[in-house]
Chains A and B, each alone.
Chain A
Amino acid sequence: MADGITSETASDGGTHRFPANKPLRLDSGATLAPLEIAYKTYGRLNADKSNAVLVCHALTGDQHVASTHPITGKPGWWNTVVGEGLPLDPERYFIICANVVGGCMGSTGPSSINPKTGEPYGLAFPMITIADMVRAQAMLIEALGIETLFAVVGGSMGGMQVLQWAADYPEKLFSAICIAAAPRHSAQNIAFHEVGRQAIMADPDWRGGAYELQGLRPEKGLAVARMAAHITYLSEQALQRKFGRELQRNGLSWGFDADFQVESYLRHQGTSFVDRFDANSYLYITRALDYFDLAAKHDGILAGAFRGARKVRFCVLSFSSDWLYPTAESRDIVRALFAAGCPASSLEIKTDKGHDAFFLDEPLLDSALRGFLASAAQARGVA
């Protein structure tokens, strides 16, 4: 362990506490200290430390990638990819997944205690970016004594972190897998997030972000935000296939109850989400996504972001029915990788399941991940 780090670490993860003299320097110019990063690990680091894989989670994900969620009791969010006999097998790899900074599952975020006031940060929490999340992950990886990652893998916002890793720490990466992501947030992406944020802030229980002090939670606003966002994670075809115009009961209610099954489904998505997610975290993380534009620092030339990553093997995957981060965005990434001279593989997987296909059972995703990881492991000498 590096100097000055205290941690509560179980064999399968824990929480790293970086002391005040090791602050996280943020893109906004602010610093965050003390910093806590909650993480889970699966498998064992091998003797030459060459088998570490960092999994980056999406907007509302967390570190419980392949283990039961402590609040919902549901299985890990990527139990189709991480686990015994799966593409990321803990028998072979040492898999790490950390809650992002700004999150609400144990890493420092807006519901953490602000050392200056002794109260939850609320809106006093500094603005964060995708690069800040990645910087915090890099601190954790260093603290775990790992110099290079065999792979960094993620879907959606996790895929953006993967790209940011390649831009900021290419020397620490052997391979990178970016799934259903984009190199920047589009106007439509920002627009949907703004709807969600406005729903939260319009909830009278939000109290200017200070709801925790008053023992309140803006549950209605957060649920509406989730409902709107959830539509973007599916496809029109999938919604039609799943629900069509099917009714909840026989006949219409001639009122505003959830007559249609799709309404009931969305309401359930909203209400179950508020049990496990913090409204201010949702505001901060959606903002980080909106601010994401990997090419911006390189005069708008995306290839510039990958200039240092010529030795990193990339795999870029997308889904044909994903309208949140469509294949065209992945194609931009691949072209920038070509232009930068990075070895890359890419595939658009045909599916009608929309953006969320990345954590559903998709045979082509499974075989693509297995093939890519197997050849990378062979090249890296990971048994």
Chain B
Amino acid sequence: MSAVLREDFKEILRLVRPSARVLDVGCGEGELLELLVREKACDAQGLEISPAGVSACLARGLAVVQGDADHDLDHFPSRCFDYAVLSDTLQAMRDPKHVLSELLRIADQAVVSLPNFGHWRVRWALVTGGRMPETKALPEPWWSTPNIHLCTLRDFTALCDELGLRIDACASLAEGKPARAIDPARPIENWRAESALFLLSRRPEGGPVEGQRDLFGDPVRAPQRRGAAR
């Protein structure tokens, strides 16, 4: 995975309602789960594939099941969580489209962060070097990277459209810098954002839920017409 995105934990903590039911998919050693339990009194559950990660979580007293996001999300009942978090992992999934739609079946909202392959450094490295880019967000060489399904912001928003998902908020993330709210439909952001974090929901067309706050604590606006930007 990339090195940049641990920054997103702060943003996720700001976003999640206190006492919410949260599933952290690919929870690693449980850093985010622990923060969610401690800071937000969340009812937090992890899903992690590596035995070392699972036992570290158990030793920290966190609820975690050993499993694989590509297969095991299918076994959760619908809408059993308020949020499903997939932090910097979607691009490593075998079937990201399926995983994304499963996240929003089992949870009312999903928080998904991912590196942006449209970032100017990535484009520049490919154009000038002619080789697969290695950047801060994508540090491994092509033959050892777990990131097998990389995408740009535009790719991702197109997939969200296809799946009928609404983007409630989006922030650009970069190591050591504060998160910046962005409109992912603006072409310039697809050049500028090193990584991005999305708050997604699958709700029928209409206004946002009363009192719903976005990443930055602002009231969530009505759905944007992203199609216009293309």
Distance (whole angstroms) from the CB of A33 to the closest CB of chain B: 42
Contacts of B55 on A, CB cut-off 8 Å?
347, 349, 364, 367-368
Q: Please encode chain A, from 95 to 113, with 1 for each CB lying within 8 Å of some chain B CB and 0 for all others.
A: 0000000000000000000
Interface 9-mer from A53-61, A203-211, A249-257, A370-378: A370-378
**B80 near A368: Cβ-Cβ < 8 Å:** no
* Chain A residues bordering chain B, tally (CB within 8 A): 26
The residue from B43, B62, B65 contacting A346, defined by CB atoms under 8 A apart: B65
Interface size class of B (residues with CB under 8 A): 20 to 34
**A339 near B75: Cβ-Cβ < 8 Å:** yes
A375 to B64 alpha-carbon distance, docked (Å): 12
**B51 near A348: Cβ-Cβ < 8 Å:** yes
Contacts of A334 on B, CB cut-off 8 Å?
65, 67
A343 to B22 alpha-carbon distance, docked (Å): 12
Contacts of A313 on B, CB cut-off 8 Å?
63
Contacts of B63 on A, CB cut-off 8 Å?
313, 343-345, 375
Distance (whole angstroms) from the CB of A351 to the closest CB of chain B: 11
Q: Please encode chain B, from 133 to 147, with 1 for each CB lying within 8 Å of some chain A CB and 0 for all others.
A: 000000000000000
A58 to B225 alpha-carbon distance, docked (Å): 62
Distance (whole angstroms) from the CB of A88 to the closest CB of chain B: 16
The residue from A341, A348, A370 contacting B77, defined by CB atoms under 8 A apart: A341
**B72 near A335: Cβ-Cβ < 8 Å:** yes
A317 to B15 alpha-carbon distance, docked (Å): 33
Check A338/B77 contact, CB under 8 A, given A343-B45, A348-B51, A367-B55. Answer: yes
**A371 near B60: Cβ-Cβ < 8 Å:** yes
A299 to B58 alpha-carbon distance, docked (Å): 33
Contacts of A287 on B, CB cut-off 8 Å?
none
The 6 residue pairs across chains A and B that have the minimum distance between CB atoms? A375-B61, A335-B75, A371-B58, A371-B59, A368-B58, A346-B65
Interface residues of B (CB under 8 A from A): 43, 45, 51, 54-55, 57-67, 72, 75-77, 80
27 contacts between A and B (CB under 8 A): A313-B63, A315-B58, A334-B65, A338-B75, A338-B76, A338-B77, A339-B75, A339-B77, A341-B80, A343-B43, A343-B45, A343-B63, A344-B63, A344-B65, A345-B54, A347-B54, A349-B51, A364-B51, A367-B55, A367-B58, A368-B58, A368-B59, A371-B57, A371-B59, A371-B61, A372-B61, A374-B61
